[in-house]
Amino acid sequence: MENLTIESESPVRAYRVAAVSRALGNLGEANVRKLIASGDLAAVRAGRHWLVSEDELRRFINVGSGSGQ
């Protein structure tokens, strides 16, 4: 099987669970992990940490606030 490398044109900003929790109004890290586990918040595993992209965090906040994006 061949290993594929994806190169990005620009850097992607990503946040750990603690930062996502703070951005969501101190929702709590356990609750952020539940959102990730349920699929409501997309994240990738990098070693021991879950990372949420800035775009995904914005999407989640906009959908949650009812802006319809």
Task: Give the tens place of pLDDT for each residue, 4-42.
Answer: 566 667 777 999 999 999 999 999 999 999 999 999 999
Residue 49 forms part of a structural domain: yes
In a domain, residue 8? The reply is: no
CB 32 within 8 Å of CB 41: yes
Q: Which residues contact 43 (CB under 8 A, 6 or more apart)?
A: 36, 50, 51, 52, 56
The answer to the question of residue 45 being in a domain is yes
Only one residue has tokens 């890290």, namely 29
Which pLDDT does position 69 carry in this prediction?
46
Q: How many domains is the chain built from?
A: 1
Can you give the pLDDT at residue 9? 72
Whole-number pLDDT of residue 10: 73
Domain that holds residue 54: 14-59
* 54/62 Cα distance (integer angstroms): 12
pTM of the shown model: 0.76
Residue 52 lies in a domain: yes
Which pLDDT belongs to residue 27? 93
